[in-house]
Amino acid sequence: MRVSRVLTPLLGLFALHLVAGQFTCSPTQPCEIGCCTQFGSCGLGPESCGPENCISNCDRKSDCDPGWGSQWSNAESCPLNVCCSKFGFCGTTQEFCGDVAVTAPSCSGSSSSKRTIGYYEAWGITRPCDKMYPEGIPIGAYTHLNFAFAFIDPSSFKVAPMSSNDPALYSRFTALKNTNPGLETWISIGGWSMNDPDQPTATTFSDLAGSSDAQSKFFASTLSFLETYGFDGVDLDWEYPVAPERSGKEADFKNCVTFLQNFRNALHSSGHTYGLTITIPSSFWYMQHFDVVEIEKTIDWFNIMSYDLHGTWDSTNKWLGPFIAAHTNLTEIDNALSLLWRNNIKPENVVLGLGFYGRSFTLADPSCTTPGCVFTSGAGAGECTQSVGTLSFAEIQRIIAKGATVTKDEAAAVKMVVYDTDQWVSYDDEETFKMKVDYANSHCLGGTMVWAASTDDAKGTAASALAKSTGRQAISLLSSTRPDPISSCQLGECGQSCPAGLSPAQRSDGKNKGNTGTNTGCSGNDARLYCCPSNDMPTCTWRGTAMFCKGKCHDGEVEVTSSTSGTGADCWTGHKVLCCTKTASNSAASECRWTGSAPLCAGAFGQADCPSDQKALTSSNYGAGGEQPCSIGQKPPPYEGCDWYYHGGNIWGEIPFACSGSCPAGKAVVATDPTGCFSGYGAFCCNTPSTTNDPLVADFKRRIEAFANDATCKPGQRQYSKREIHPTANVDSGHMAKRTSLNSVDFGLLLQQLSQIVLGGGQTFQQNLMANEFETAYGTRYGLHIADIAGFYDDWPNMDRLSLSESLMCLGDNADNFLSNYHQGESFVCVNPCSSPQSKRDRVAASLPMNWQSVVQPLNKTILPARNLGDSEDSDQRGPASEPSWALMVEAIIAGAMTLEYEQVIRASRGLETILEIVWRLPPGNGPGGIHPAFQDDNPSDSDTNPDRFVVFHFHTHHIAPRGVVRRPGIHAVVAFHGQRYAEPIGRHPARVDGNDAEGRNRRARVLRCDANIPFWYPGEFTNEAADATHFVWAQVMTRFGNYLVNQGLLDESTYTGDTQGQLWLNPADECDRQTFNWGRYRVSRQFGPNGAPPPGGGGGDGGQNEDGDNQQDNDGV
């Protein structure tokens, strides 16, 4: 996690107390701070350090010069313009500053709505649960997303991925703009760990900033990186320059400024409008090493890390100590921002950091639960984040749902939770987010940023809570309501709030920030607000300077309205124009423009002409309401039903004495004109704008319609998943091999957009419209609807959503049958552990005999397409387009066609989950490696040299429970995958079949997942006859498989606890008589065979339990 650790914002204050409190010293007992005098006292300056009084450490100097001269002081003044006390220490309290106070910026409005930034932790997909792939980010809550992190190679100075998995995520991350064109995606380079002293990159930032040659290499690499992956800017997270404990160097202070200036120039030279920001700490100790005044001139804004103000590290800090405190305390945040105000940093260039996580502690005394109480350590690690002293927002919400005690600290603007007797965590929720956003608005800050968007829960609860405060759309993920059409920005009525669903756009110019609007056409002090959808909000600026105004919008801006004053001084000539950043919601206005230039716009009694390619809509002597008379150009689709209105109703051929300048219900003002009115203004009103002609929507429509015309996936087209097999016995292999009309790039983009739509629930206009297009072109035709895909996501919450979408789409018109059969089978085999088994489930029936040779026909390897282990229960896979399904494997296992390799009980490498791994060797045949080709993948790159040899099943097991007269393992998920070879053993760890995903060849087939770990599958509880009677193929295959495993001694209680098998202990039983597993220090069992016999195969090892882990992908996305 990125941190901004606070040693103390007022270090000098504590130093002052130390000097004052250390009363005695001697030549052998020196002062910790200051010089030791002949009188045995500690102090600084000439009286204490001068030769006539000083006896030890006489070269000590004060932090700053209170008037002693440079001989006695390290610096004339304090860093960051903090105050120098009479004792030569730096600080900000009255002891240092006297009556001199810092004036914080103040304004009304909602300035922080301008930008909401979310950081995305790429490593979030490696968590055992609460995984968040890019498509899961609730993008409607954010204006910017920063990918965290990329590193810098310490030798080549090129941008380097933090993990080998990251490059595959980059394009998926930037593709989020395909359903939200107003979104910007940035790359964040650096992070806390990059400067860790034990890392090879520890001094890379310092080396880069100090070398022009290294900078040239870095700049070229960065520009290539941005161009390749489609990022919009760079956020530099150098933690921290100068600070020796963070691998900094003294030269960093000046070098950092020069480096940023050079970097900005390089970005500008590219021809792109790439952004540049840096993160800064909230502590004086680290912030003093940034020349914030000079840096502000170069960057777009600062991201201040106003979180992690406290943590377990406080226990070793002599100034703070082991006392619980909230890590997002607003009082301390205010102190941190005052350091910026002391240096006249513009508030619009400061973005306030918020936390979607909490810092947690173990209390020394469970009865003492308020800030200031003693802690002994960090609280226990969360089940998903697995970090002592830290809990994600999602984990905190689950704790609260179990009845934990929640309190609010009003002054600190935080919530605190006490749970499990002695565990304590502070965090923010909707109420405290609002308090912090209100603070940001009242101090004119330029936005908020979140660490981290990826620690939110799957429903985007934290993002939704923040969105309510920032004015962006409140998100309802996976909404079942039908999407609404796009709405557009509009000028409101005089003196009234914005219509429902719209919010005031914000100004970005000058000091007078706040809501955007104009007083043109209004009387007195009334004004019209410029109202826009909260999740597609532009920022606006008045352009044109009095007295001689020549208002003109810049490229990329839309002219909204005009005025002779704006919100400032009046124009003597010309007019000002209100210019807003171009977004989807003001695209209608961008298609219109006024022609003619004051004062002589056209001939007498005439009007200025429109260009030949545009047609006139109306004319006005005052244009949109300012001075310039002109005519509106082309009438775009949103502007319909337009006419002039003078007192709430249009009067043909008659101008009223007094004009109201208002529009009737359902219409919005486009222009105003006082001509002919004795007082007031007339209003040109059109139907409330809406538009569907968005290019991103058009691209999605083209892709989904093309795919709907041929809803199949060609060999080699899959990018994320196993191939799903049709859940019917007789597959038309010719249809399966048919090629879709979409190329791989378009199909990948289609999947990315579809996954965003399903997860987004209408967060953006484009998502709403795309959902409509999907339902029209595909859903009604094939019976696969957005809600169906969302339900499949819920079945596999930690699986890559692109994989799930791809699986369903590639099934074409069989997707609905597939889902129906899967869910029906699941409902049969998964039972509530607190229920009693039915009488006919008590007896394990014999497995039905099968001849495996009848399952498959001999196949010619040369005509087989690419195959992975499929997710279907269909076992009848014949023909050139067939591929092995997990059920085909099961039937071959039951028929005795495969040889057991080994069994092994594994504690998942990133969690406490217990997995039973059972491996079989594939049947022999004439395929590569002497394996029957019907059971192999056909990977063209290395299938001949590294063929599929094994099938591996993982049984994710939660507990042992009595089911009737038999104690059975309760299994909540099963996956299967191919294996090609054994991995290298680690320590005493027995070598296992390598299950890491090699170019997609070991992707997991989704066999079973019982809903939310509440019901479980108890193999052996059902009879084959009972399953056959259901006609649910999935249930039939799973039941036969379970009974076979039990009968063969491969899956029962002793598998996990037997002395020659798993050797695990059982925890005490819960209320349902379930006993979970106690691993102690162990991570892996020995390898064994049926009933504890030696395994026929296996990779060696010492035959006992093992404390060593390995790097296998054992969590399987369940």
Say how far apart CA 980 and CA 869 lie, in whole Å.
13
pLDDT of residue 677: 63
Strands (E), 422-468: 423-427, 448-451
pLDDT of residue 870: 57
Percentage above 70 pLDDT, the chain: 76
Place of tokens 């595909």: 778
Q: Which two tokens stand for residue 224?
A: 């290539």
DSSP state of 852: G
Residues recorded for the chain: 1118
pLDDT digits (tens, 9 = 90+) for 755-767: 999 988 666 767 8
Most confidently predicted of 432-441, 519-528, 870-879:
432-441
- 1059 near 1017, Cβ under 8 Å? no
Say how far apart CA 179 and CA 771 lie, in whole Å.
11
Helix (H, G, I), strand (E, B) or coil at 709: coil
Q: Supply the DSSP string of 45-64, one letter for each residue.
A: SHHHHSTTTEEE-TT--BSS
pLDDT of residue 179: 87
Say how far apart CA 142 and CA 473 lie, in whole Å.
10
How crowded is the C-beta side of 518, counted as CA atoms within 13 Å?
A: 29
Say how far apart CA 801 and CA 133 lie, in whole Å.
7
Q: Which residue has the higher pLDDT, 876 or 682?
A: 682
Percentage above 90 pLDDT, the chain: 51
pLDDT of residue 778: 95
Compute, in degrees rounded to 10, the torsion defined by CA atoms 28, 33, 34, 40: -40
Q: Which residue has the higher pLDDT, 601 or 334?
A: 334
pLDDT of residue 623: 45
- 40 near 34, Cβ under 8 Å? no
Q: Which residue has the higher pLDDT, 591 or 253?
A: 253
Average pLDDT over residues 647-666: 52
Minimum mean pLDDT range among 117-121, 171-175, 236-240, 639-643: 639-643
Phi, psi angle pair for 1079, to nearest 5°: -90, -15
Q: Which residue has the higher pLDDT, 851 or 760?
A: 760
Say how far apart CA 398 and CA 1116 lie, in whole Å.
23
pLDDT of residue 842: 32
DSSP state of 861: G
pLDDT digits (tens, 9 = 90+) for 941-991: 566 678 999 999 999 999 999 998 999 999 999 999 999 999 887 666 678
pLDDT digits (tens, 9 = 90+) for 729-784: 333 333 333 334 678 889 999 999 999 999 886 667 678 888 989 999 999 999 99
Show Cβ contacts of residue 101 under 8 Å, excluding neighbours closer than 6 positions: none
DSSP state of 778: I
Average pLDDT over residues 546-552: 78
566 band by pLDDT with thresholds 50, 70 and 90: confident
Most confidently predicted of 632-641, 870-879, 1027-1036:
1027-1036
pLDDT of residue 631: 32
List beta partners, residue 657.
none
Q: No. of H helices and E strands in the chain?
A: 26, 43
Per-residue pLDDT at 617 exceeds 80: no
Q: Which residue has the higher pLDDT, 723 or 239?
A: 239
pLDDT digits (tens, 9 = 90+) for 789-828: 999 998 888 888 998 999 899 888 888 888 888 888 888 8
Structural domain 111-355+429-470, CATH architecture: Alpha-Beta Barrel (3.20)
Sign of CA dihedral 831, 836, 839, 842: positive
pLDDT digits (tens, 9 = 90+) for 369-378: 999 999 999 9
pLDDT digits (tens, 9 = 90+) for 186-220: 999 999 999 999 999 999 999 999 999 999 999 99
Q: How far is CA 641 from the centre of its chain?
A: 43
Per-residue pLDDT at 649 exceeds 60: no
Per-residue pLDDT at 365 exceeds 70: yes
Say how far apart CA 366 and CA 369 lie, in whole Å.
7
Q: Which two tokens stand for residue 828?
A: 């049969």
Q: Which residue has the higher pLDDT, 893 or 513?
A: 893
Residue among 213, 299, 231 at smallest CA distance from 261: 299
Say how far apart CA 19 and CA 7 lie, in whole Å.
18
Per-residue pLDDT at 632 exceeds 60: no
pLDDT of residue 687: 60
pLDDT digits (tens, 9 = 90+) for 289-342: 999 999 999 999 999 999 999 999 999 988 899 999 999 999 999 999 999 999
pTM of the model: 0.74
Per-residue pLDDT at 1101 exceeds 80: no
Sequence ranges of the chain with CATH classification 3.20.20.80? 111-355+429-470
* Mean pLDDT for the chain overall: 82
